[in-house]
C-alpha cells in the first residue's frame, strides 16, 4: 500500500521546488533502494505534466568500491560525460537514502579529495545552474545515526519536510532586508566562541523549500578577510565519510590559523587541500521549527532552529565572496539554551539571544510562529 506522505513529498518536489513544466527534461538521481518509492511517485508526476523523466540509480556499497578504484582516467571520462548529460537537463532531483552513513569511511581521504576536485565539483556546478533540489529520504542508516527507530524517524522526517514553506519564505523577508544592510556581525556562544566578521555588501539568499528538503535557512557570505576570533562548533558532523564530534576554528583576517578536533589527521588533509579551504564561503542561520536536535545529517542539521553555520570552503554563486575551494563543509553551532546559548549582534544591536530572534520584525522566524 502506498504511503500518502510520500506522494505529498513528491508533489512538493515537482510542483514547488523544481516547478516542472511540460516538455522539460528532469533528472531523478537516487542512492540506495529505500528511495525507490519516492522515485516512482516523482516519475509519475513528471510524466503527468508532459515532461521527460530520466533516472540514475546507484547504491553506496557500489560507489564505495568504485571510489576505491577510480583512476584519473575514470574521473576524467565520468566528468566529461556527466557534464554533457547535465547540460541537456532542465531540472534535477537528487535523493539519498543511505543504508550506512559510514560506508565510504575507509576510502582514503586523499582519494576522496581527488574525487571532489576532479569530478564532483564540476558536475555539481552544472547541476546547480539548473532548477534543482536535493534531499535525504528515511532509511535505516539515517534512523540509526539519529538514535531513532525507523518509525520515529519517518514521523520526524515528514513533519520537517512538508511544512508551510510559503509561510516561511514570507517570514524571511525582513531578515533578508536586515542582513543586506548589515556590516559588522559579532557572535558569542558555547565554549570559546567569540568571533566577528563583516557581511557588508553581500546579498542574502532565502532557502524555503526550493533547493533542499527539508529546508529552512537564510545565508549570506562574509567579506573574505573579515573574520577574527574563535568558533567552537557543538554539533557532530560527517564529512567525506568521517565523523567529527567537535571542531574548533581560530581565524585571523579571514583565514583559519588553527583547527582542533578529533581525527586531526583528517582535519589536516581537509584544511590543506587548497588555499580556499582555510577561508569561509558561507554564513547562514537555521530556522526550521521542527529540527531542534542534531541528526548527524547535514541537510537536516544546518536547518536546526537557533543555529548558525560558518562554512569553510567555496562560496555559492548566488552569494560569491570570491572564495574558491574543492570543499564546502557546513559546520553547525547551536545557540539554544540546551546547547549552551549565545548571542548575535548586528552593528552592535542584539538580534538573536539563545536561539530566538528578539527584534519584533524578525520574530516571525521563531519556532512558535512557523509551525
354 vs 67, 91, 229, 306, CA distance in Å? 42, 39, 20, 7
Q: pLDDT for 46-62, tens place per residue?
A: 999 999 999 999 999 99
Q: Can you tell me whether residue 136 is helix, strand or coil?
A: strand
Q: At what angle do helices 4-11 and 36-48 cross, to 10 degrees?
A: 50
Whether 142 contacts 297, CB under 8 Å: yes
Q: Can you tell me whether residue 222 is helix, strand or coil?
A: coil
How far is Cα 344 from Cα 297, in angstroms, rounded to an integer? Answer: 25
Q: pLDDT for 235-276, tens place per residue?
A: 999 888 788 999 999 999 999 999 999 989 999 999 999 999
Task: Write out residues in the chain with pLDDT < 50, as ranges.
Answer: none
Whether 279 contacts 255, CB under 8 Å: yes
Helices and strands in the chain, H and E counts? 13, 20
Q: Is the dihedral of CA 289, 365, 341, 191 positive or negative?
A: positive
- The torsion angles phi and psi of 200, rounded to 5 degrees, stand at -60, 125
Query: In the prediction, which pLDDT does 188 show?
Result: 98
pTM above 0.85, yes or no: no
Q: What is the DSSP letter of 20?
A: -
Q: Phi-psi bin for 355: left (phi > 0), alpha (psi -120 to 50), beta?
A: left
Q: Cell numbers of 208, please?
A: 524555503
Q: Which domains are seen in the chain, by residue range? A: 4-161 (3.40.1830.10), 165-370 (no CATH)
Whether 101 contacts 142, CB under 8 Å: yes
Amino acid at each position: 500500500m502506498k504511503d500518502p506522505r510520500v506522494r505529498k513529498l513528491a508533489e512538493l518536489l515537482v510542483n514547488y521546488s523544481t516547478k516542472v513544466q511540460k516538455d522539460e527534461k528532469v533528472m531523478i538521481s537516487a542512492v540506495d533502494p529505500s528511495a525507490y518509492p519516492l522515485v516512482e511517485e516523482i516519475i509519475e508526476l513528471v510524466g503527468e505534466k508532459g515532461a521527460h523523466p530520466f533516472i540514475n540509480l546507484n547504491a553506496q556499497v557500489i560507489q564505495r568500491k568504485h571510489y576505491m578504484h577510480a583512476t584519473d582516467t575514470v574521473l576524467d571520462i565520468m566528468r566529461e560525460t556527466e557534464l554533457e548529460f547535465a547540460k541537456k537537463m532542465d531540472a534535477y532531483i537528487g535523493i539519498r537514502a543511505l543504508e550506512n552513513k559510514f560506508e565510504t569511511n575507509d576510502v582514503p581521504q586523499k582519494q576522496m579529495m581527488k574525487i571532489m576536485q576532479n569530478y564532483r565539483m564540476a558536475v555539481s556546478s552544472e547541476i546547480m545552474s539548473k532548477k534543482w533540489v536535493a534531499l535525504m529520504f528515511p532509511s535505516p542508516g539515517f534512523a540509526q545515526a539519529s538514535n531513532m527507530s525507523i518509525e520515529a524517524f519517518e514521523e520526524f522526517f515528514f513533519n520537517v519536510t512538508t511544512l508551510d514553506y510559503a509561510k516561511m519564505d514570507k517570514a524571511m523577508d525582513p531578515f533578508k532586508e536586515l542582513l543586506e544592510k548589515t556590516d559588522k556581525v559579532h557572535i558569542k556562544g558555547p565554549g570559546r566562541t567569540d568571533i566577528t566578521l563583516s557581511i557588508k555588501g553581500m546579498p542574502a539568499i532565502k532557502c524555503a523549500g526550493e533547493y533542499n528538503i527539508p529546508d529552512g535557512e537564510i545565508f549570506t557570505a562574509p567579506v573574505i578577510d573579515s573574520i577574527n576570533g574563535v568558533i567552537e562548533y557543538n554539533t557532530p558532523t560527517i564529512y567525506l565519510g568521517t565523523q567529527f564530534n567537535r571542531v574548533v576554528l581560530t581565524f585571523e583576517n579571514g583565514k583559519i590559523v588553527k583547527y582542533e578536533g578529533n581525527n586531526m589527521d583528517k582535519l589536516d588533509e581537509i584544511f590543506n587541500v587548497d588555499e580556499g579551504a582555510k577561508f569561509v564561503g558561507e554564513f547562514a542561520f537555521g530556522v526550521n521549527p521542527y529540527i531542534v536536535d542534531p541528526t548527524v545529517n547535514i541537510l537536516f542539521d544546518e536547518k536546526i532552529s537557533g543555529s548558525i553555520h560558518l562554512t569553510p570552503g567555496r562560496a555559492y554563486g548566488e552569494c560569491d565572496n570570491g572564495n574558491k575551494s574543492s570543499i564546502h563543509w557546513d559546520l553547525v553551532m547551536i545557540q539554544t539554551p540546551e546547547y549552551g546559548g549565545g548571542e548575535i549582534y548586528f552593528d552592535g544591536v542584539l538580534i538573536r539571544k539563545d536561539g530566538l530572534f528578539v527584534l519584533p520584525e524578525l520574530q516571525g522566524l521563531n519556532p512558535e510562529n512557523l509551525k
